[in-house]
């Protein structure tokens, strides 16, 4: 708890200083050389200091790419701490045999300790963690606190221990198939309660259609953690279906530019009003698209983006619905597939 609070205080201090700086460094080394000293006074651990700098710099670079005023950005109510560099073993959040993590913590008096945490590891992740140790793969670590309180006078905390590994290492050890000899193409239309897949041949002929539903996640109050898990399962089902039906390339709508905003606690001025569709507000299609892009290589399926303009509510869209007797979402998937085939 103290480590997370010190990390947060350090992040707020750096953000405040960076906002007031007329010119900011253009490189990682420049940021570290400029700001390490002032952050080290708050949390005296070099790796956590660099983790703070990496976080704030990512906010700054995101604002530049999205044309957002950096001085208007605030940090929301998160509690976590991280180190930023890939290394083996990661010194501050260290994976050990038996799926233990030895974690460097700092108390409010700036004393350091090594705490042992043994989190619940999903069975599907165990082989990957074994490979990290076996091949001495470099990784980074993060601890995210989700909730805390007191019980019978004792403090309790609940959260996640997260590690980041290179994507190539992930694909190498988790691939479902190694070779894809398919000759067909798929168009994917993503919605808040379903994924529509339309499969076409090289001449544009419609071969197959299928809908993968996750209606339950759109219900008000449905747990966010369960939402990601359920949608993740549907994404795997869709990719497996596509592979076994001969799809070698999937075409997806090109999501709006997200920059480097990979940290979920960044808050901007973008706010939906009270009448905004609740389903859309709780889960954006771009997140599902990112899931598909991440998982498709596990099935040796190539992914390409197409411009979504005109794939819904257009004259061509209406004609496709009539001609193919397709609902509007499946017609969109079919048009996405055709547009992708044209691009090729």
Pair of tokens at residue 70: 């950096």
Picking from 125, 150, 174, the residue at the C-terminal end of a domain is 174
Q: What is the pTM of this model?
A: 0.75
Q: Quick one: average pLDDT of 286-302?
A: 91
pLDDT at 216 over 60: yes
Q: What are phi and psi of 209, to 5 degrees?
A: -140, 150
CB 198 within 8 A of CB 333: yes
Q: Are 82 and 189 members of one domain?
A: no
Domain residue limits at 73: 1-174
Confidence of residue 260 (pLDDT cuts 50, 70, 90): very low
**Highest-pLDDT range among 225-234, 257-266, 272-281:** 225-234
| Number of domains making up the chain | 2
* Residues 221, 157 share a domain: no
Tell me: do 193 and 310 sit in the same domain. Answer: yes
* β-bridge pairing 247-253 and 302-306: parallel
User: Which stretch of 36-40, 116-120, 143-147, 275-279 has the lowest confidence by average pLDDT?
Assistant: 275-279
Same domain? 157 vs 69: yes
**Separation of CA 343 from chain center:** 27
Would you state the structure tokens that stand for residue 157, as one six-digit string?
Answer: 């905390």
Residue 151's DSSP bridge partners are 154
Residue 179 falls inside a structural domain: no
In this prediction, residue 256 carries a pLDDT of 57
**Whole-number average pLDDT of the chain:** 88
Torsion of CA 273, 278, 281, 282, to 10 degrees: 140
For residues 241 and 148, state if they share a domain: no
């Amino acid at each position: 708890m103290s480590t997370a609070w010190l990390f947060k205080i350090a992040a707020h201090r750096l953000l405040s200083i960076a906002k007031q700086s007329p010119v900011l460094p253009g490189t990682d080394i420049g940021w570290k050389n400029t700001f390490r000293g002032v952050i080290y006074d708050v949390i005296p651990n070099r790796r956590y200091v660099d983790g703070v700098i990496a976080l704030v710099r990512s906010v700054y670079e995101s604002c530049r790419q999205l044309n957002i005023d950096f001085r208007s950005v605030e940090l929301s109510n998160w509690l976590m701490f991280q180190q930023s560099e890939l290394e083996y073993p990661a010194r501050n959040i260290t994976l050990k045999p038996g799926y233990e993590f030895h974690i460097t913590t700092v108390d409010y008096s700036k004393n350091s300790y090594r705490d042992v945490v043994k989190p619940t590891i999903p069975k599907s992740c165990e082989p990957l963690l074994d490979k990290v140790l076996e091949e001495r793969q470099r990784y980074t670590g993060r601890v995210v606190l989700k909730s805390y309180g007191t019980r019978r006078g004792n403090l309790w905390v609940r959260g996640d221990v997260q590690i980041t590994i290179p994507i190539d290492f992930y694909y190498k050890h988790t691939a479902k198939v190694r070779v894809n000899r398919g000759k067909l193409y798929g168009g994917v239309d993503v919605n808040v309660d379903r994924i529509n897949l339309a499969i076409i041949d090289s001449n544009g002929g419609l071969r197959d259609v299928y809908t993968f539903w996750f209606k339950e996640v759109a219900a008000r109050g449905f747990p966010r953690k369960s939402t990601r898990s359920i949608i993740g399962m549907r994404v795997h089902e869709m990719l497996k279906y596509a592979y076994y039906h001969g799809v070698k390339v999937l075409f997806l709508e090109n999501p709006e530019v997200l920059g480097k905003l990979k940290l979920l606690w960044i808050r901007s001025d973008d706010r939906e009003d009270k009448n905004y569709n609740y389903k859309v507000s709780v889960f954006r299609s771009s997140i599902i698209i990112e899931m598909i892009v991440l998982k498709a290589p596990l099935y040796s399926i190539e992914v390409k983006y197409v411009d979504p303009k005109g794939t819904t509510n257009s004259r061509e869209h209406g004609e496709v619905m009539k001609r193919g007797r397709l609902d509007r979402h499946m017609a969109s998937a079919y048009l996405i597939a055709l547009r992708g085939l044209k691009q090729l």
